[in-house]
Structure 1
Amino acid sequence: MTDQSKPSFNANAARKADVLPRWNFDAFYPDIKSDELEADKAKAAAMVKEFATDYEGKIAQLTGQELANAINKSKQIGDLFGKMGTYIQLRTVQDNTLGGELVKFGTWATEVTTATNFFGNEIKKLDEQSLKAMIAQTPDLQALEPWIDSVRRGIPHTAHEEVQKYSAQLSPEDGWNKLFDDLHTSLVYEFDGEELGLEEILDIVAGDPDPARREAAHEVFVEVMNKNSLIWAQVHNELMRLKTVDDRWTNFENPWDARHFSNNIKPEVVDALETAVKESYESIPHRFYKLKAALMGQDTLKPSDRNVNVFEDKQKRYIPFSEARDIVLDAYAEFSPEMAAKAKEFFDKGWIDAPVEKKKQGGAFAHPGGAALAHAMVMLNYQGTPRDVATMAHELGHGVHQELAKHKGDAVVSTPLTLAETASVFGEMLTFKSLLRNAADDDERRKLLFEKVNDMINTVYRQMSFYDFEKKIHGHYKANGPLTEEEFAGYWLEALGDSYGDAIPLDKDYGAVYGYIPHLVHTPFYVYAYTFGDTLVNALYTVYEEGSVPDFEEKYIKMLEMGGTLKPEDLKEMFGLDIEDPSFWNKGLKVIEDLLDELEELCEPLLEANQNATPKPKAP
């Protein structure tokens, strides 16, 4: 394990001297306008044309083997489009001036692939008994049964084919999404003599060590949100109107049912998760926020204090990229040499892009990289902080998952959102636990625990409060029609206030802050997947630490390889985890509670010192 107790050194000098990797695109294309890319575009268009000629209107007449061949050909088409689209997207991530190329490719790909829309519809129309007989008699079709099931389970929610084509070509949501994105791009936050963008002002709100500066930045942010509250309301109302129409044509009763369906999760499972999380508001997030306030010498927190790191490293030691790599790979290897070896490929083969650059997209992600035709790619914006090390562990978990599954489970059915975080959160937890075991002293342990609990509360509880807000506004719209600005604000304050408790009082100006959350606009009801995934993995990690499952590592690797073919019953069979048991979620939430218990115990001496240092009032 890398020694974390070494003395600090000049962070700026270390940052400048560090060598950060860039993506190697050898498995893709030499350039965005290369002959090779143009040749694959021509090849893909020809494959689509041939596929439509060979199969449109003929699926019902195919033998079992012919149907298997057709499905595999459709997947080959998807793989090629995925490889091309991945390359252009990743180049755009590196250089945002190439965004026009991505739009151009997306428009072309949509036009070309429309000719294959018949395929899923004709498979849905196949006679159930005849299809079952074909599958039973055809080994190649048996391997594709999960994909067939994923298509046919949509039969009750399939609009007429002409309606599908009309909706795809009209795409009314796109205009509202673009308005939302363009407005956020154009908004200016005037602060401290500078004109800042959204990410820049939020960075100050979340992490500036000066509380007065944080609060001033928060006031600027809230003011801009309120100035545009009419637009936030209009965008959300229009998107809810469109969703109401779409749900009516696709036979979904509740606004959130379509998301549960796409995640292949029963509504009652999500309801049980929601109940468990909300019932622990007082024992976990409320308690943590009160602890943070006490550590800061305050009775309550301001919203601008919510993300502040009380134990931030004042020396700002820069962790070199190579050291971060060793920390993560060592942690992975302690659990599984196979996982560590797969993760090491990302470093050795140029599958990571790490520098922070002006034209580069912010954040971090792992991309499957065009499925079987290429490989996964990880994007980081590495700045040498402990959080960057955790992010590296998280995204490498995604990358390892994508690589392990691409020739097996994900080659048949893609991993749903609710299970997509399995390897990433597990990898992050492995790294955190390794760092905690090797911490030099209580100061370092406090810092690690504080950051981890803070992050877990943001992932589990904050995202659930977003889901609560979505349910409130969509339920209101379905029952009563469009919401006013004040009604949006009221539901936001209620949902967030429930998760914050008395520790973070909110005023009415905070009611427009929902306007900056992109998931609420682009992917309704997406956010609970974060809560689901994190809590599921916490329970899984508990099973690992307990040692109650023989051959855990082997079963874990097999689970990752299963990709989208993994079913809830597989988790029960392999690890004894029954997500349909309402009490299951408490197992995952207890992981956060136990870490909070440990943090509180380590903080007791500090709180006592603070109390003793506070001047006592003189007796009258």
Structure 2
Amino acid sequence: MVKRSKKKKELGAPEWDLSDLYASWNDPKIDVDLANCAEEAAIFESRLKGQVKHLTEAAMVAALIDYEAILEKLYKIGNYPGLLVSSDTSNEAFKSLETKVETKITEIKNHLLFFELELFELGEAEWDNLVSHPKLADFRHFLETLRQRKPYHLSFLEERVLNEKAQTSSGALGNIFQNFVSGMAFKIKVGKETKIMSETELLNLLHHPSRNVRKSAADSFSAGLAERAGLFTDIYDYAVQDYHIENKLRGHKYPEERRNLSNEITQESVSALVSASVAGMPLAARYYALKARILGISPLYEYDRYAPLKASRRVVAYPEASKIVLDAYYSFSKKMGTVVEEFYEKNWIDAKIRKGKRGGAFCSSPSPNLHPHVFTNFQGSPRDIMTEAHELGHGAHGMLSRGQHFLDYDTPLTTAETASVFGEMLVFESLKNKASSDEERLSLLAQKIEDIIAAVFRQIAMYKFEARAHYYFREHGRISTKQLNVWWNEEQQAIFGESLVLRPEHGCWWMYVPHIYHTPFYVYSYSFGELLTLSLYAKYKAGETDFEAKYVKLLSAGGSKSPNELLSAGFGVNLSDENFWKEGLTVFESFLKEAEELAKKLGY
């Protein structure tokens, strides 16, 4: 008999309240807001098109204020359907609304395209005047980043075509992938019973104490992906091709360049990060050799990566988890604690697992005029508690950045993980310090070490996988499933050395990674954020003077300065120095040494 999996225990996880955005998916105000934005955009275009190069400094300030006001309203409207679809990917009304809103927003943005394109046409002397003029000081960073994109802009008609085609090319591919994966159901036999599980439920079983259950979950997941390999490969090939076409049209010299520009980071900094991370991979192999001894298993396989240790099986109800998170944030900073508490009090979190809900976790922070929303899938493990802390770190970052205007609000991906990883570290330290035994402390250390391995080394392996795919496509075109599977296992196996074996069927696990489809080269930002924050956390633990004030200032800056400016000014960091990234790895190694000492003490 086949049964759909049911939760054994009600954990009390909340569903969010989105009524402060709109009353419901069919709220008439959505159409009213779209119509108002369309009218404002048309007026903006009729007033300024062809005139940008003639604007005085005062008129340019007024134009920028109007421009960002329209964009900010569009972000509010566009954010709402995405949140609805994430909460229930099977709801056709939600998906129809999302398509309608995306289409209308694209039409409205077409009326705004001219503005940045006409700015691109300014001469160097005119640009120098813009970025240095006192009246434009509030928009200096936006103008400087725009200037960096100037060599890669296209004509008005070409930009308009790309803008409209995004819905049916890169945007559509990402949506098809996400909706397809969210709706996938996997069969797994547990004991004598065959169950049907979602992706989230199945992957959670990779943390199950029973090795047979973990292997069954891994086998079921591999089989489910392999069964649909043709579709996943087609989607990914088209996503790579779409990215390549736009890069070629814009004149980008190498595949990562477009991502680096949006991340406001140099390839030298990325290379330093990658080199340091690859050099640190033997630490991951050392950890899994330790884990094999603790578990008494040899060899370890991919389904043993997240095998829990003896003391890590307690399921925590949501109210207790939220208290752990809040207490950890308050222990660091009253300001941070107060900000995080607001999410719980005002129901800005959706943590309850339910049918049709998208897997994973995220925080949506669309604009300074709106509070963020946090999305998780809470199942009561210590890792789920740290995930909650992670996403609430994003939320706190978004709240603290609300002092910035819209064009300086959003952070590049490279610094977007700073508050989230720091929040995780606070909760981890809290859980570890409160552990009732050495076994429990070792278990928590193991989980944290595995999380860092996933955030640093696994993401760099993904980055190298993506680079192989994109560089291969430039020379040879379409990539086969077999080739992608081989590359995936090769790059992932490099993390573990001989300490853990990835079976051939694991090669298809690239298929479920969303970022490689909708945001190429996104993944290195996770490694960037993790190692950056580990280094900052080390400064905090070492008692650096005024750390809390400097840290809150860093978060409050939002996207008003580049990562290099913010970090060099606040903490004296050089992002192109490989040794800086290695400082973060020393924190990781300290956790590993602590785990090794505890294991020895416990007789492993």
TM-score by length of 2: 0.91
1:543 corresponds to 2:536:
no
Equivalent residue number for residue 56 of structure 1 = 49
The letter of the residue matching 1:299 is S
Q: 1:155 to 1:467 in 2, by over 3 A?
A: same
Equivalent residue number for residue 357 of structure 1 = 354
Q: Alignment partner for residue 330 of structure 1, among 321, 327, 335?
A: 327
Equivalent residue number for residue 44 of structure 1 = 37
Equivalent residue number for residue 288 of structure 1 = 287
- Deviation string, structure 1 residues 332-390 (Cα, Å, up to 9, x no partner): 2222111111112222233223333324333322211x413321222233333322221
Equivalent residue number for residue 3 of structure 2 = none
Which runs of 5 or more residues in structure 1 are unaligned?
A: 1-11, 609-620
- Deviation string, structure 1 residues 272-299 (Cα, Å, up to 9, x no partner): 11111111111x1101111111111122
Alignment check: 8 A CA contact 1:329 1:340 kept? yes
What are the residue-to-residue correspondences of 1:414-425 with 2, within 5 Å? 414-425=410-421
- Deviation string, structure 1 residues 136-157 (Cα, Å, up to 9, x no partner): 4442x11111111121210111
Q: Alignment partner for residue 116 of structure 1, among 112, 115, 121?
A: 112
The letter of the residue matching 2:339 is K
Segment drifting more, 590-599 vs 388-397: 388-397
Alignment check: 8 A CA contact 1:535 1:585 kept? yes
Segment drifting more, 48-57 vs 373-382: 373-382
Q: Distance in 1 between matches of 2:377 and 2:235?
A: 31
Q: 1:546 to 1:185 in 2, by over 3 A?
A: closer
Q: 1:122 to 1:494 in 2, by over 3 A?
A: same
Equivalent residue number for residue 372 of structure 2 = 376
How many residue pairs are counted as aligned between the two chains?
588
Deviation at 1:262, TM superposition (A): 1.4
- Deviation string, structure 1 residues 311-340 (Cα, Å, up to 9, x no partner): 3534x343341x323222222222211111
Equivalent residue number for residue 154 of structure 1 = 149
What are the residue-to-residue correspondences of 1:291-330 with 2, within 5 Å? 291-314=290-313, 316-321=314-319, 323-330=320-327
1:265 corresponds to 2:281:
no
Equivalent residue number for residue 195 of structure 2 = 194
Equivalent residue number for residue 4 of structure 2 = none
Q: 1:469 to 1:330 in 2, by over 3 A?
A: same
Equivalent residue number for residue 165 of structure 2 = 170
Q: Distance in 2 between matches of 1:265 and 1:281?
A: 24
Alignment check: 8 A CA contact 1:410 1:562 kept? no
SS in 2 for 1:194: strand
Q: Distance in 2 between matches of 1:587 and 1:332?
A: 24
Q: 1:422 to 1:178 in 2, by over 3 A?
A: closer
1:584 corresponds to 2:580:
yes
Equivalent residue number for residue 72 of structure 1 = 65
Deviation at 1:560, TM superposition (A): 0.6
Q: Distance in 2 between matches of 1:500 and 1:274?
A: 16
Q: 1:410 to 1:588 in 2, by over 3 A?
A: farther
Q: 1:381 to 1:219 in 2, by over 3 A?
A: closer
Moved over 6 A (4+): none
Deviation at 1:26, TM superposition (A): 5.2
Q: Distance in 2 between matches of 1:101 and 1:128?
A: 43
Q: Alignment partner for residue 463 of structure 2, among 467, 483, 486?
A: 467
SS in 2 for 1:154: helix
What are the residue-to-residue correspondences of 1:73-112 with 2, within 5 Å? 73-96=66-89, 97=91, 98-112=94-108
The letter of the residue matching 2:164 is Q
Q: Distance in 2 between matches of 1:301 and 1:406?
A: 47
Q: 1:546 to 1:582 in 2, by over 3 A?
A: same
TM-score by length of 1: 0.89
What are the residue-to-residue correspondences of 1:443-482 with 2, within 5 Å? 443-482=439-478
Deviation at 1:413, TM superposition (A): 4.8
Equivalent residue number for residue 612 of structure 1 = none
Q: Distance in 2 between matches of 1:359 and 1:182?
A: 9
Q: 1:298 to 1:384 in 2, by over 3 A?
A: closer
SS in 2 for 1:299: coil
Alignment check: 8 A CA contact 2:218 2:303 kept? yes
1:412 corresponds to 2:408:
yes
The letter of the residue matching 1:426 is F
What are the residue-to-residue correspondences of 1:448-527 with 2, within 5 Å? 448-527=444-523
Q: 1:330 to 1:201 in 2, by over 3 A?
A: closer
Deviation at 1:410, TM superposition (A): 5.6
Q: Distance in 2 between matches of 1:153 and 1:560?
A: 24
Deviation at 1:302, TM superposition (A): 1.1
Q: Indicate the structure (1 or 2) with the bigger Cα radius of gyration.
A: 1
Alignment check: 8 A CA contact 1:80 1:373 kept? no
Equivalent residue number for residue 4 of structure 1 = none
Equivalent residue number for residue 531 of structure 1 = 527
Alignment check: 8 A CA contact 2:200 2:360 kept? no
Which runs of 5 or more residues in structure 2 are unaligned?
A: 1-6
Q: 1:564 to 1:410 in 2, by over 3 A?
A: farther
The letter of the residue matching 1:199 is T
Q: Alignment partner for residue 557 of structure 1, among 548, 552, 560?
A: 552
1:601 corresponds to 2:582:
no
Q: Distance in 2 between matches of 1:354 and 1:484?
A: 37
Q: 1:436 to 1:59 in 2, by over 3 A?
A: same
Segment drifting more, 567-576 vs 193-202: 193-202
Deviation at 1:304, TM superposition (A): 1.0
Deviation at 1:184, TM superposition (A): 3.7
Q: CA RMSD in A?
A: 2.3
- Deviation string, structure 1 residues 42-97 (Cα, Å, up to 9, x no partner): 22121111111111111111111111111111111111112222233323333431
1:33 corresponds to 2:26:
yes
- Deviation string, structure 1 residues 227-254 (Cα, Å, up to 9, x no partner): 4444444433333333322222111111
Deviation at 1:207, TM superposition (A): 2.1
Q: Distance in 2 between matches of 1:407 and 1:448?
A: 37
Q: 1:152 to 1:387 in 2, by over 3 A?
A: same
Alignment check: 8 A CA contact 1:366 1:399 kept? yes
Q: 1:24 to 1:242 in 2, by over 3 A?
A: closer
Alignment check: 8 A CA contact 2:352 2:378 kept? yes
- Deviation string, structure 1 residues 201-232 (Cα, Å, up to 9, x no partner): 3333x123221222133223323433444444
Q: Distance in 2 between matches of 1:185 and 1:380?
A: 14
- Deviation string, structure 1 residues 495-548 (Cα, Å, up to 9, x no partner): 111112111223433333322222222211111111110010000111111123
Equivalent residue number for residue 614 of structure 1 = none
The letter of the residue matching 1:81 is L
The letter of the residue matching 2:317 is I
Alignment check: 8 A CA contact 2:299 2:501 kept? yes
Q: Distance in 2 between matches of 1:498 and 1:90?
A: 37
User: Aligned residues: percent identity?
Assistant: 31
